[in-house]
Amino acid sequence: MPRRWRFVVRERLDNEGRVLRPLDEDGVAALIPRLRAEEIESLAIGFLHAYVNPAHEQRAREIIGSIWPELPVSLSSEVAPEMREWERFSTAAANAYVQPLIARYLTALAEGLAGLGLTAPLFLMLSGGGLTTLETARRFPIRLVESGPAGGAIFAAALAEAQGARAVVSFDMGGTTAKICLIDDFTPQTARRFEVARVGRFKKGSGLPLRIPVIEMVEIGAGGGSIARVDALGRIQVGPESAGADPGPACYGRGGEAPTVTDANLLLGRYEAARFAGGRLPLDEARARAAIGRAIAGPLALPLEAAALGIVEIVDEAMANAALRHAVESGKDLASRTLIAFGGGGPVHAARLAAKLGIRRVLVPAGAGVGSAIGFLAAPIAYEVVQSHYQRLSAWNAAAARAVLAAMTAEAERVIGAVPGLGPLSRELRAFARYVGQGHEVAVPLPASFGPDWGSEALRAAFEAAYRAAYGRTVPGSDIEVLSYALRLSSAAPPWRAGEAQPGDPLPRTKRLVLDPASGAWQETAIVPRAGLGLDEAVVGPAIITEAETSTLVPSGWRCRRLAGDVLELIRLEDGP
C-alpha cells in the first residue's frame, strides 16, 4: 500500500479505554477530499486501544458516512477486537481491501440465483469451519480466507466421527498444495492467527498476519501440479511453484513443459493414461518423459524412472516433515492417529506418507477428490466472537468479565439469530491466558456453563491443565493473566450421509507394473476399480484402487478393505496378511 494512502487524525485512548485526547472530528471530515482525490474504494479505520473502547472508530465512521455514505468502511474494533495493534490493523486493512470486490460478487451471486428461481437460503463457509449468512460475509469477507481447506477439515472430522476415530490427521492434497490438520475428538484444531501474501511462500513469519478464527492447518507447496527442478547444489526440489490447471502438468498436453508430481506419478505407473479423470483427460506419457528427462534425469544423469521416483519421494518427505513439525509444535503424537486422505492427489501418496510418519491406518472416503465441497454440506451454521479483556487472577473482577461475556453473547446471537429455524445452539467458550511475563498465551477451554462467578481458582486449574498439555509442566507460584475470550455459537451439524457404492458394471480388474517407492523395484500390481470392490472385501498390496476422481495406492505390506459407508481402509501389515 502506498504511504500516501495512510492518513492520520488526532485522538488517543489509554489501555483501559479512557479518553486522553478527544477525536478531532474536523480532521476526519477534512480527509474526505483527499480520499476522493486518490479514488479510494474502501477504507480501514484503526486507532490504538480501540479494542477496549470503539467509540472513536465508530464516530469516525459516522462522520465519513454522513458525507460519503457509499464508501465501505472496516473498523478494527469490529473486524479484530483484540490487543496487538499490528495484527488488528493489518486484519482491518485486509478486510477493507477485499470488501468491495467480495461484496459485488456476493450481491451478483445472490441476484443471479434469485433470477434462476432459487429461493433456498445462501450460506458461505468461514475459515473457522462454520457457515454464515450473506450479510455477515459482506461485512467481514476476510473471514472467508482458507474457507475451502476448512471445508476439507470438516469433511475429515465428520468421517472420523462416523468411523469412531478420535485421533486423526487429515491430509488434503490437491493440484497446488497439501494441507494437514490435526483432529481430536472429531474437532479440528483451531487458531486465531493466519498469514497471507507471504514473501517466502509457505514460510511462517514472512506474510501479513490476520487475527481471525481459523481451522489450523500446515500448508506446503506439494500438489499434483508442483514443478520439479534441480537446484544449484544438484538436488531435486519440488514446488512451491505450480503449473496449476492451465497449462498444467506436461502430460496434460496443454502447453506445459515443466515436470510436475503428476508427470512423475504417471511414469511410475500409478495412473492409467487413458482413464485419468474417468477418461475425460487422457494423459500424454511421452510429454511427461520428455519433461522429466530434460529437467531432472538429464542434468543428474539418472534413469528416467529414478528421476520420477526422486520427485515423489522429495514430495512425500516434505509433507512428512511438515506434519511432524506441526504435531511437535502442537504437543501431539502422530503415530497413534488415523490418516484420512482426500483431494485428487491425497490417496495416491497417503500410504507412503503414513509409513514415514509411523501411522498404521489410512481412510479414503468416497468423493475424496471433492472432499472440501462435501465438507460444506456437513458444516454447522456458526459464528465466533473474540474480544480482548485483560485481567490478572490475583485481582479478578467478576463484574467486568460478566459484562464482556454478555456483550459477546449478544453479538453472536444477533449474527446467528438472523438464520431462522436453527433450533438449540451449542456454546463453546475459551479464554486465552498466560503466566505474567510471558509473551504468548494458550487457549483454555472453559465449560459451556462458565460464568465470571466461576471462581478464579477454577480458572487457574483449567489454565494449568491446558498449559501442562502444551508444555508438560506448570510454573508454580506465578500469577496468571487472561488476555481475551472467544465465544462460538453453532447450530447442530447436518447429519453425516455416508457414501454408498454406486451400482453399475465396473471395469474389469487388470494388472500392470508399478514402481514400488520403498524398494525402488517394479512390481506387478493389481488394478482394482473401486466400484467393483465388494463390502469388506480385502485386497493385499501391491494394488491400485481406481476411480474417476483419484487413485488409491496400496503398497506392498498394506491391505485395503472396503468398509460400510464406502470408505477404503488401508492397514499396514507388520506380520504378513
Rounded Cα–Cα distance for residues 574 and 577 (Å): 8
What is the three-class DSSP state of 539? strand
327 and 386 share one domain: no
Q: Is 332 found in the same domain as 199?
A: yes
CATH number at residue 464: 3.30.1490
**Residue 553 domain flag:** no
Q: Are residues 176 and 288 in the same domain?
A: yes
Residues 366 and 390 grouped into a single domain: no
The verdict on 239 and 128 lying in the same domain is yes
Q: Do 47 and 193 have their domain in common? A: no
Angle, helices 25-37 vs 55-67, to 10°: value is 50
Both 294 and 373 in one domain: the answer is: yes
505 in Cβ contact with 529 (< 8 Å) = no
Distance, in Å, from the CA atom of 257 to the CA atom of 249, rounded to the nearest integer, reads 7
Residue 8 lies in a domain: yes
- In contact, 259 and 228? CB cutoff 8 Å: yes
**Is the Cβ–Cβ distance between 246 and 254 less than 8 Å?**
yes
Give the CA diameter of the chain.
80
Given a contact cutoff of 8 angstroms between Cβ atoms, the answer to whether 459 and 434 are in contact is no
Do the beta carbons of residue 310 and residue 318 sit within 8 Å? no
Torsion of CA 512, 516, 517, 520, to 10 degrees: -120
Last residue of a domain, one of 379, 394, 418: 379
- pLDDT value at residue 577: 46
- DSSP at 530: G
Q: Is residue 517 part of a domain?
A: no
Grid cell of 526 as nine digits: 493389481
Buried b / exposed e over 188-197, threshold 16 CB at 10 Å, is bbbebebbee
Structural domain contains residue 515:
no
Last residue of a domain, one of 379, 403, 429: 379
Say yes or no: 29 and 72 in one domain: yes
Sign of the C-alpha dihedral computed for residues 152, 154, 158 and 161 taken in this order: positive
Nearest to 49, CA basis, from 23, 26, 25: 23
| Claim to verify: residue 475 and residue 421 sit in the same structural domain | yes
**Has residue 544 been placed in a domain?**
no
Q: What is the CATH number of the domain that holds 367?
A: 3.30.420
pLDDT at 494: 79
- What type of residue is 477? G
Block residue for cell numbers 491430509: 171
Domain-embedded: residue 521: no
3-state secondary structure of 575: coil
Q: Which three cell numbers mark 449?
A: 456453563
Q: Does residue 356 lie within any of the structural domains? A: yes
- Cβ pair 295, 229 in contact under 8 A: yes
Whether residue 339 sits in one domain with residue 204: yes
Coil vs helix vs strand at 544: strand
Cis peptide before 506 (omega within 30 of 0): no
Q: Apex CA 547: angle with CA 546 and CA 549, to 5°?
A: 125
In terms of domains, do 260 and 305 share one?
yes
One-letter amino acid for residue 519 of the chain? S
Contact, 184 vs 166, CB < 8 A? Answer: yes
Note whether 333 and 345 are same-domain residues: yes
Question: What is the domain count for the chain?
Answer: 3
**Phi and psi for 197 in degrees, rounded to 5?**
55, 45
- Find where cell 494394488 sits: 543
C-alpha cell at 453: 462467578
List the end-to-end C-alpha distance of the chain, in Å, as a whole number: 61
281: which DSSP letter?
Answer: S
DSSP 54: -
The domain boundary, picked from 490, 512, 535, lies at 490
Helix (H) or strand (E) holding 571: strand 567-572
Per-residue pLDDT of the chain (577 residues; tens, 9 = 90+): 788 899 999 999 998 889 999 999 999 999 999 999 999 999 999 999 999 999 999 999 999 999 999 999 999 999 999 888 899 999 999 999 999 999 999 999 999 999 999 988 889 999 999 899 898 999 999 999 888 899 999 999 999 999 999 999 999 998 888 999 999 999 999 888 888 776 665 566 777 888 888 999 888 888 899 999 999 999 999 988 889 878 999 999 999 999 999 999 999 999 988 888 777 889 999 999 999 999 999 999 999 999 999 999 999 999 999 999 889 888 889 999 999 999 989 999 999 999 999 999 999 999 888 888 999 988 999 999 988 999 999 888 888 888 888 899 998 988 887 787 788 888 899 999 999 988 888 999 888 766 655 667 888 889 999 999 888 899 998 999 999 999 999 988 877 665 565 555 567 889 999 998 888 889 999 999 998 888 899 999 899 999 888 899 999 999 999 998 899 999 999 754 4
Work out whether the CA dihedral 257, 259, 262, 264 comes out positive or negative.
positive
Distance between CA 501 and CA 498 in Å, rounded? 10
Could you tell me the residue range of the domain that residue 395 belongs to? Answer: 382-490
Q: Is residue 551 part of a domain?
A: no
- Please report the DSSP string for 401-419 in residue order: HHHHHHHHHHHHHHHHTTS
Angle (nearest 5°) at CA 174 between 169 and 176: 120
